[in-house]
Amino acid sequence: MKETDKTKKQVPLRLSPSLYADLMQWAEEDFRSLNGQIEYLLTEAVRKRKGKKREDRGDDTPI
């Protein structure tokens, strides 16, 4: 893995107050920081999307 792949990128993010509150509550329930929860949710969404693309193509070729 390249050195640049190990560093995390900072991304400004604007959330509605209600979404922020919901995510914060969810993060607390999962014993994560808000940032950790958002990163976890995004990682899971990308992983599922990649899996769905493979199913759509009908093969196991990595994307």
> How many domains does the chain divide into?
1
Is there a domain that residue 6 lies in?
Answer: no
**First vs last Cα of the chain: how many Å apart?**
18
Nearest-Å Rg of the Cα atoms of the chain is 15
Helix (H) or strand (E) holding 19: helix 17-29
Pair of tokens at residue 36? 């950790």
Q: Residue 48: what pLDDT?
A: 94
Average pLDDT, integer, range 46-63: 76
Maximal CA-CA distance, the chain: 42
Is there a domain that residue 62 lies in?
Answer: no
Q: Residue 55: what pLDDT?
A: 73
Write out the residue range of the structural domain in which residue 43 sits. Answer: 16-56
Looking at per-residue pLDDT, the higher value among 11 and 58 belongs to 11
- Tell me the C-alpha distance between 4 and 25, whole Å: 32
Per-residue b/e over 30-41, b at no fewer than 16 CB within 10 Å?
eeeeeeebbeee
